[in-house]
Chains A and B, each alone.
Chain A
Amino acid sequence: MREQPLFRRRYDLSKMVMGSVVIGYVLLLILLPIGQLVHSTFGQGWSGFQRALLNPSALFSMKLTITLALLTAVINTVAGTISAYVLVRYPLPGKKILNAMVDLPFAIPTAVSGLMLLVMFGPKSILGGALQAKGIEVVYAPPGIVLAMIFVTFPFVIRSVQPILEDMGVEMIEAAKILGAGRWQIFFRVVLPTILPGILSGFTLTFSRALAEFGSVVMVAGNIPFKTQTAAVFIYGEIESGSLNNAGTVSLILLIFSFLLLFYQNYLLNRQRYGWWQRLLAKAGMGRKEKNSEFENWAI
């Protein structure tokens, strides 16, 4: 490093400014509100928290949300993996357009997504009417919630698997072919293990996003306690009726889930693309090491 004081001071200033922007941002927008939430929720002590947690409708809403979000994550993981595979490997006509359309669920406001599902499966539509005639409830019922969650989270798995598949190329597959592996052996022994980190990461993202989904769910399924009331909808309802304690408690549970998933995502999945499990076992400590994308100084 240079010993010129002039430069040093400039770097220090920019370091301070940029550092405080990042830290301030995190503090103001994330940490403070979370702290406040914890503070308010425990305003009536541990017993208040416990009471709110064991409140049957709160319990039901959480169970429902977790179950349906899991179901959604499983469905989208399978469907998304297959879609990614097809998008990368098969010479489909109009593949570019199809590929661009995958991101639509991210772009459409969730309330609009919910509305679309509502008109599609509502009793007045042909499809909805036919289903209802057979006694299958979709809207204002759990299937509607799952549909909404699936729709909103569809891109996650595709977008986490696709780049790995593209990166993988065809050489390993050709090598496996020559070694005698058939189609399914190639998939299970070569392709799947390679894209597994992407699949798991997509699964986590889908699950946490589905847990949190509000707009489309409330559109499709409404707010029926002990039937379609998900955690996010429950929180909204409790706030409306002025019960901050109940709302805060369920929010904290959702937060804990998010944190756990985030932790899992960052520390287990993203560490290494290949062989992360072996490496994790081999690695003793995780000291802070400079990455090669980092500047030595804060020189911009």
Chain B
Amino acid sequence: MSIEVRKLSKVFADGHRAVQDVSFELLEGEMTAFLGPSGGGKTTMLRMIAGLETPSSGEIYLSGRRVDHLPPQERQIGFVFQNYALFKHMNVFENIAFGLRVQRRNSAYIRERVTELLRRVDLKGLEQRLPDQLSGGQRQRVALARALATEPRLLLLDEPFAAIDAQLRKELRAWVRNLQKEMGITSIFVTHDQQEALEIADRIVVFKQGQVEQLGTPQEVYNSPQTPFVAGFVGEINRYQTGVKNGFTDLGVLKFPIKHQEGRKVIVVIRPEDVSLVPWSAQEDIQAMVLQTTFLGEFFKVDLELADLIRITAHVPKSQGIGLHPKDRVALQIKAYRTFDSSGQLETAVELTRKAVQGESMFPVGEAV
């Protein structure tokens, strides 16, 4: 089921504007992540789509049909609550069967459907358990099975993996992703976790203070953030606030051409992985000194100091990072950067200043040559 939201706003009774003028369209069969900081309005958005909260203004369409006046019972939506909200007095079987019993399906059908779902969520044999006799991950799966039982056309998941430990979390989200693809059900899930969003979403909607900052595929959001906020929230960045001088950013050695008016404030954003360390040779390379290296498993995080005391963080491959020590002098290349004007509007798109230098020629990077 496709879903369209037009100019949706929610003002709570206390005057707080939790969602402001939000519009977007999501496609049939896709998995969308609502990503954003705490208090950004993600839950409120989800609850309005489900009908648990009445919008103050705006419209919601599911498959082209306007639904914002319909009660939640009539929207054919599945909802997995952050705290699961299982029926505490019902066992696992009855929890999953609830929606079907409400629909007055015959008991043979219910038995068959619940058994099928139990198999899918891998909970066979636990039918008779009460919710408080289950582990967090098991409860989560019961909540999911319960939401899926009535074959909803849209599945909403509010931070479904938040209360689960890292290992199980990874398994569960891969598993939910597979299930979602298999069933082809349009889904939205809320998360704080950019990694989670990048990993399993077809599209990401980034919320900030009740507004949509950006909507796009994980690659679009990561590679072409439209605001400094998105750049910083999805992935890591080096962020510089500076001015324009003679058509270039006024950042000492980090000199990038910029079309903006002279003297205006701009924000320059560089991802650590777009900073590469190269052998100390080429004239135009930027010289730097290593301050600190941190081993982060798959890569090294290297904090560097450039001329004019500007600092920058680079992510370098393990093989390279292992040979680096504080006070080492290196040269670096900026593979890509983005500039925004001070109101946060994108000023210059990603630019490849130079091809990445490949191979062992860039190693070792030792003392000054």
Chain A residues engaging chain B, CB cutoff 8 angstroms: 171-172, 174-182, 185, 189-190, 193-194, 274-275, 278
Q: In the complex the two chains form, is B79's CB within 8 Å of A178's CB?
A: yes
Q: How far is the CA of A275 from the CA of B103 in the complex (A)?
A: 25
Residues 62-85 of chain B: 1 if any A CB is under 8 Å from the residue's CB, otherwise 0? 000000000111010111010101
Contacting residues, chain B, for A193 (C-beta < 8 A): 89-90
| Contact string against A for B residues 41-55, beta-carbon threshold 8 Å, 1 for contact and 0 otherwise | 000000000111000
Name the residue of chain B whose CB is nearest to the CB of A275: B130
| B248 cross-chain contacts in A, Cβ below 8 A | none
Given contacts A172-B85, A189-B98, A274-B88, contact A177 B132 (CB under 8 A): no
Chain A min CB distance to B104 (Å)? 10
Contacts of B81 in A (CB 8 A): 171, 174-175
| Contact status B103-A180, CB under 8 Å | yes
Q: B282 near A: Cβ within 8 Å?
A: no
Q: In the complex, A278→B73 CA distance in Å? A: 31
Q: Which A residues are CB-close (under 8 A) to B52?
A: 174, 177-178
Cα of A193 to Cα of B71 in the assembled complex, Å: 24
Q: Are B89's CB and A178's CB within 8 A?
A: no
CA distance A227 to B102 in the complex (A): 50
Most central of A176, A177, A180, A185 by chain B CB within 10 Å: A180
The 6 A-B pairs with the shortest beta carbon distances in the complex, nearest first, are A171-B85, A179-B99, A175-B85, A193-B89, A177-B72, A178-B79
CA distance A175 to B152 in the complex (A): 14
Classify the interface of chain A: helix, strand, loop or mixed.
helix
Q: Which of A176, A180, A190 contacts B150 (CB 8 A)?
A: A180
Q: Is the CB of A275 within 8 A of B89?
A: yes
The CA of A185 and the CA of B98, in the complex, are separated in Å by 10
Listed A/B pairs (16) with beta-carbon separation below 8 Å: A171-B81, A171-B83, A171-B85, A174-B85, A175-B85, A175-B146, A178-B51, A178-B72, A178-B79, A180-B73, A180-B103, A181-B98, A185-B102, A189-B98, A274-B132, A275-B89
Apart from A274-B89, A274-B132, 7 more pairs, CB < 8 Å = A171-B81, A172-B87, A175-B86, A177-B52, A179-B98, A179-B150, A275-B88
CB <8 Å contact, A194 and B88: yes
Alpha-carbon gap, A1 to B281, bound state (A)? 71
CA–CA, A185 to B77, complex, Å? 18
Question: Which of B73, B75, B98, B99 makes the CB contact (< 8 A) with A182?
Answer: B73
**Which residues, 80 to 135 on B, are CB-close (under 8 Å) to A?**
81, 83, 85-91, 98-99, 101-103, 130, 132
Neighbour of B89 across the interface among A171, A182, A194, CB < 8 A: A194
Given the known inter-chain contacts A178-B77, A180-B73, please indicate yes or no for A190 contacting B50, CB distance below 8 A.
no
Note all chain A residues with C-beta closer than 8 A to B83: 171
- Please name all residues of chain B whose beta carbon is closer than 8 Å to the beta carbon of A176 when the two chains form the complex: 87, 98, 102
By a beta-carbon cutoff of 8 Å, the part of chain B in contact with chain A is: 50-52, 71-73, 75, 77-79, 81, 83, 85-91, 98-99, 101-103, 130, 132, 146-147, 150
A174 to B75 CA separation, bound complex (whole angstroms): 13
Which among A179, A180, A194, A275 has the greatest number of chain B C-beta atoms within 10 A? A179
Query: CA of A194 to CA of B130 in the docked complex: distance in angstroms?
Result: 13
A185 (CB) vs chain B CBs: closest residue: B102
Contacting pair B88 A172 (CB below 8 A): yes
Bound state CA distance, A181 and B83, in angstroms? 20
- Docked-complex contact B50 and A178, CB < 8 angstroms: yes
Residue ID in chain A nearest B103 by CB atoms: A180
Among the interface residues B52, B88, B91, B147, which one has the most CB atoms of the partner chain A within 10 A?
Answer: B88
User: A181 — nearest CB in chain B belongs to which residue?
Assistant: B102
Question: How far apart are A182's CB and chain B's nearest CB, in angstroms?
Answer: 7
**Which A residue's beta carbon lies closest to that of B98?**
A179
What separation, in Å, do the CA atoms of A189 and B89 have in the docked complex? 10
When chains A and B are docked, how far (Å) is the Cα of A299 from the Cα of B88? 37
In the complex, which residue of chain B has the Cβ closest to the Cβ of A278? B130
In whole angstroms, what is the CA distance A189 to B85 when docked? 15
Compute how far the CA of A181 lies from the CA of B146 in the bound complex, rounded to whole angstroms: 13
Chain A residues whose C-beta falls within 8 Å of the C-beta of B88 in the assembled complex: 172, 194, 274-275
Q: Is the CB of B78 within 8 A of A178?
A: yes
Residues A274 and B130 in contact, CB atoms below 8 Å apart: yes
**Across-interface contacts of B51 in A (CB, < 8 A):** 177-178
CB contacts (< 8 Å) of A175 on chain B: these are 79, 81, 85-87, 146
Chain A residues near B130 (CB, 8 Å)? 274-275, 278
Q: How far is the CA of A275 from the CA of B130 in the complex (A)?
A: 8
Choose among B50, B77, B79, B87 the residue with the greatest number of A CB atoms under 10 Å from its CB. B87
* Chain B residues near A171 (CB-CB < 8 A): 81, 83, 85
**Distance of B282 from chain A, by nearest CB (Å):** 61
Using CB atoms, name the residue of chain A closest to B133: A275
- B82 to A, closest residue via Cβ: A171
Within the complex, the shortest CB–CB distance from A201 to chain B, in Å, comes to 15
B159–chain A nearest beta-carbon distance, Å? 14
For A273, give the chain B residue with the smallest CB separation: B88
Give CA–CA (A180, B91) in the complex, Å.
19
Asked if B85 and A177 make an inter-chain contact with CB atoms under 8 angstroms apart, the answer reads no
Chain A residues contacting B86 (CB-CB under 8 Å) are 172, 175
A261 to chain B, nearest CB (A): 24
Interfacial chain B residues near A275, Cβ < 8 Å: 88-89, 130
Assembly CA distance A278 to B98 (angstroms): 19
Chain A residue at minimum C-beta to C-beta distance from B50: A178
Q: How far is the CB of B152 from chain A (nearest CB, A)?
A: 9
The answer on a CB contact under 8 Å between A180 and B85 is no
Instruction: For residue B203, give the distance in angstroms from its CB to the closest CB of chain A.
Output: 23
Q: Whole-angstrom distance between the alpha carbons of A217 and B159 in the complex? A: 58
Instruction: Assess whether B87 is in contact with A177, with CB atoms less than 8 Å apart.
Output: no
Q: Please report the C-alpha to C-alpha distance between residue A178 and residue B98 in the assembled complex, in whole angstroms.
A: 11
> Once the chains are docked, how many angstroms separate the CA of A175 from the CA of B79?
7
Whole-angstrom distance between the Cβ of A251 and the nearest chain B Cβ: 39
Question: A190 contacts which of B75, B87, B99 (Cβ < 8 Å)?
Answer: B87
In this complex, which of B73, B99, B130 has the most chain A Cβ atoms within 10 angstroms of its Cβ? B73
Give the chain A neighbours of B73 by CB distance below 8 A.
Answer: 177-178, 180-182
Chain A residues, CB < 8 A from B99: 179-180
Min CB gap A212→B, angstroms: 32
**A179 contacts B146, CB within 8 Å?**
yes
Residues of B within 8 Å of A194, CB to CB, are: 88-89
